[in-house]
A and B are shown apart, each in its own frame.
Chain A
Amino acid sequence: MLELRSVSKVFGELSALHQVDLWIPPGKVSGLIGPNGSGKTTLVNIITGIYAPDTGQVLFNGVDIVGSTADQITRFGVARTFQNIRVFSRMTVLENVLAALISLGDPSWRVLLGFTKGANDPRLNMALKALETVDLLNEASVVAGELSLPLRRRLEIARAFVRDPELLLLDEPAGGMTPTETANVANLIRNRIAPGRTCLVIEHKMDLISDVCQHLCVLNHGEKIAEGPPDTVLEQPQVIEAYLGRD
C-alpha cells in the first residue's frame, strides 16, 4: 500500500529524516510514533506532497509519488489532517466538508459552475453522512472558526475521510486534548473511521496509539528505530529509551 525507501530530508543544517524505510500494510491502522522532533510530521509532509524528499522513494500502490504535487496526491487517494489544525475558518462546518468533495471525479467547468448545495447532489449526502459519523451534524451551520478544539479536530477528520480515501493520515488527532477527549477520539477512530480503511496515525500519546493501532513504526532523531506489532515494539529497549531517556 505505502512504502518508503531510504527517504532522507535535510533542512539547512538539520537532518530531519535519514534513510527511513517504512511499510504501511493495507486495511489496518498503523501508528507512527516518536518523541517530538523525531521527524514524524516531516515524513507526513513528504508523503502528502508538501515537499519532496532529498533522496528516496515513496511508493503508493507501487507507484513512486515523489515530485507529485499535493493536489495530485490527494486525487490519488491520500487524505490527511494537520497537526496544528487547518480548517477554512470563515466557512461553515458543512461547507468545509463539501470543499473536500469538489475535486472528486476531476470536475469539469460545468460541474464547477453548479451549485454547492443542490438538493439532489450526492455530494451533499456524502458530506452530511460524514458529519453524522463524527457527531457534528448539529453543528453543520456553525462557522468553523467558532468551534472548540475537539470539534475542530472532528471536522478535520470528517473532511479527510469523506472522500473515502485509500490512505488516511491523521496527524496528531488528539493534540491538545484532555484524556477524556483523547479517549473519545480513539473511539471514533477505532469504531467508525478505521474499519475497512488504511490509516496512519501520527501521535506521541501512548494511550491513543496502543488503543487503535495494529502496526507501529517508531522514529527517533529522523531514523526508524523499530517497526512491528505494538506489543513487540513497545517493549523494545531502544523505544523505551527514546521516550524516557537513558537511565
Chain B
Amino acid sequence: MTDFVQNCIDGLMFGSGYALLALGFTFVFGVLKRLNLSFGPSIMLGAYAGTWVYLNISDNAWLVALATVIATIVVGIYVERLCFRAIRHDATIASMVSSFAIWMQLEEVAMHLLPERTYPFPAFFTTTTIEFGPFYARSEHITMLLLTLLLLVLLHVFLFRTRPGLALRSVSDNPLASAYMGINNSNILFLAFALVSVLGGLAGFLILSADTQVTPYFGLWATFKGLIAMMLGGMGSLPGAILGGLLLGIVEANAFWYGGPVIRDLSAYLLLFVMLIVRPGGLIGQKIVAEQRAADERV
C-alpha cells in the first residue's frame, strides 16, 4: 500500500511535466482546432540549442533556458507557416498530417545537428529529497508541479483578462466574425504558436534539467506523452491538460513499479485507446466532441 501511494506521489511529480507538455498541445487545439504533432520535436530542437549553449557558451542555466525557448519558438514558427498558415482553415486533418510529416523531417535534422546519442543538460534545481512520513518526493519535481500550476494560472489570466487573450479566444470561437471585427487572424495564429512554443520550451527545459540529459528520443517521447495527457484530459481544455498529465503520471508510475518500462508505456497507450473509444472528450467531458460532431453534421 505504501508502494502504491509513493507511486502516486511520484506519478504526480512526473505528471506535472506531462501536464506542461499537454498544455501546449491543448492550447493549439483549443485555439486553432488542430493538432500539432511536431510539438515534441520542436522542443527537442530547442533543447539541442540549449545544450549547445551549455557546451559552448556558458553553463548558466538561465541562459540555457532562454536559448531553449527561443529555438523552440523559431522551429514553432517554421511549423506554423508550413503546416498551419498555408493550409485552408477548415482542413484541420491536413494540418495534423502535415505536422506529422514535418516531425519526420525535424527528427532527421536533429540527427544531423547533434549526432551523438546523449547530451548533458544543466541542472536547474538543487536536488534534495523531502520526506514526509514513509513517503518522499524530490524537490525538483515539486518545483515543477508548482511551476506548472503557476503557468496554468498565468495562462488563464492571459486568456481571460488581457486584450490579446480575448482576441485569441474570439478567433478560436469564430474566425470569420473576428476578422470582420478587425482582428488579424494571421497575427493571432502567430501569437498562439509563439505562446505555445514558450510553454513547450519551458516544459522541455524543466523536464530535461530534472533529468540532466537530452537524448534523440526526446522529441517522440514528448509528443506522445503530451498527446496522451491532452486527450485524457480533454482536447482543448486547459485544466484538462493538467488533470490528464497528472492521471498519466500516476498510471505510469504504478505500471512501471509493478511491471517495468514496457508495461509502463503500454499502459499509457492502453489508457489513451480506451479513453478515446469510451469517452473521446476525456475527463473534462463530451462538450468538445459534441460540438465537433454538430459542426460536421450541420445540415
Contact = CB atoms under 8 A, between A and B. Distances in A.
In the complex, are there CB atoms of A and B closer than 8 Å?
yes
Interface of A: 41, 45, 50, 82-84, 86
Interface string B198-212: 000000000000000
Given A45-B299, A50-B299, A82-B299, 6 more contacts: A41-B299, A50-B297, A83-B299, A84-B298, A84-B299, A86-B299
Contacts of A86: 299
Nearest to B294: A11
A132 B298 CA distance: 31
9 contacts: A41-B299, A45-B299, A50-B297, A50-B299, A82-B299, A83-B299, A84-B298, A84-B299, A86-B299
Interface in B5-63: none
Contacts of A83: 299
Nearest to A171: B299
Interface string B267-299: 000000000000000000000000000000111
Q: Which 3 A-B pairs have the closest CB atoms?
A: A45-B299, A50-B299, A82-B299
Nearest to B297: A50
B294 to A, nearest CB: 9
B44 to A, nearest CB: 38
Contacts of A82: 299
A24 to B, nearest CB: 20
A172 to B, nearest CB: 11
Contacts of B298: 84
A50 B297 CA distance: 9
B16 to A, nearest CB: 35
Nearest to A80: B299
Contacts of A84: 298-299
Interface in B129-170: none
A168 B26 CA distance: 44
A41 B298 CA distance: 11
Contacts of B297: 50
A36 to B, nearest CB: 15
Contacts of A41: 299
B218 to A, nearest CB: 41
A208 B3 CA distance: 76
A79 to B, nearest CB: 15
Contacts of A45: 299
A201 to B, nearest CB: 17
